Amino acid sequence: MAVPRDSPKAGERQHWRSVSPEERIASVNQLIVLHPRFREGVELLQRCHESIRGSSEPTCGALLGVSGVGKTSVIDHYRKLHPAHDTETATQQPVLKVTLQPEARPKGIAADILLALGDPAWSSGTVQTLTNRAVKLLQRCQVELIVLDEFHHLFDMDRAKVMTKAAQWLKVLIVNTKIPVVVCGMPEAEYVLRAEHTERRFKERLQLKCFTWRTPAGKREFCGMLKKLDQSLPLAEDSELAELELAGRFYLACRGIPDYLMTLVRGGLVEALRRRSEQITKEDLARVYEQKLAHQRVLLEQSNPFIGQLDQGALDRVQPADDARAAGVGLTPKAAHRRNRAMTAGDYLGGR
């Protein structure tokens, strides 16, 4: 399930002793684990992608979740499976990733698409001319799937309002090009998907969730992830990352957020290599936590989980970061007026 660069099998781990630290760090930075939720995201993209062939109407989908849950990793992995390549007339891009800017409007979305396609004059022109150029260039580059990242930018949180014209424009783009679209973003993007112009189009939907610890199945999944990571690390020896007590410390340190978990593991490997060791220790992880995660709002109220006795009570009470995130954000204009400050990433991840 794990996919590192040039990964040796378990019985060949001694190979890593002869590999330089720089190569090992490069390897771990490319490491992903195809755990079940990750696979579900990849399969959603594949189903939508394949609908461009033999279907009168493309299948569009949505991949939603809080920051750090793995949406971008899913997209980037799928793009690597379908890489761009140059021809005599154009650069063919089977899977086009487009990052939407804040306060997305039709002209801005068209410009974002042109920018992703490499148009040097991507921002020049009226909304109609930009749209026409985008449609022609999508066809010329033989784009088969469009992935719109940061799709929640079509929801104005300050006014709790869906950008209706942008949603209408997107519907027309799908109809005119017949290219399937997958949108990715924060959970509040769901309000855009419920709008009149988008609800029927985006039938395939997946909410990527953080890992959980408070159920037996969740604990098994999290420990299984740690075991696969341990087996795939460019080290000559196991670090026993999935041992139950250490796994509990990991969970407190990441609150189930895959990005935080990978930050700990990658940082732990760097610390081990600095010591010229083939194993990651709690001391390594404690240093990484202090340097890279302790300042995150969702983690501010706890001490370093890798130092001292494991706080079993805290582990029994802890919630996944996405379950603890601020609820009701932007549900109504009245609710929006009650908010006195801009929302932060910490709010989305469960900060109090």
pLDDT tens-place string over residues 281-295 = 999 999 999 999 999
The CA distance from 286 to 305, in Å, is 7
Amino acid, single-letter form, for residue 4: P
Q: Are strands 2-3 and 32-33 parallel, antiparallel or unpaired?
A: antiparallel
pLDDT digits (tens, 9 = 90+) for 254-274: 999 999 999 999 999 999 999
The CA distance from 289 to 280, in Å, is 13
CA angle, corner 67, sides to 196 and 222, nearest 5?
A: 115
Instruction: Show the tokens assigned to 253.
Output: 């340190």
The CA distance from 314 to 130, in Å, is 54
> Which of 27-31, 146-150, 164-168, 219-223 has the lowest average pLDDT?
164-168
Q: Are 177 and 139 in contact (CB under 8 A)?
A: yes
157 Ramachandran zone, left/alpha/beta (phi>0; psi -120 to 50)? alpha
Q: Are 4 and 30 in contact (CB under 8 A)?
A: yes
225 versus 348: the higher-pLDDT residue is 225
Q: Are 88 and 82 in contact (CB under 8 A)?
A: no
Residue labelled with tokens 């083939």:
278
The CA distance from 197 to 188, in Å, is 17
pLDDT digits (tens, 9 = 90+) for 44-56: 999 999 999 876 7
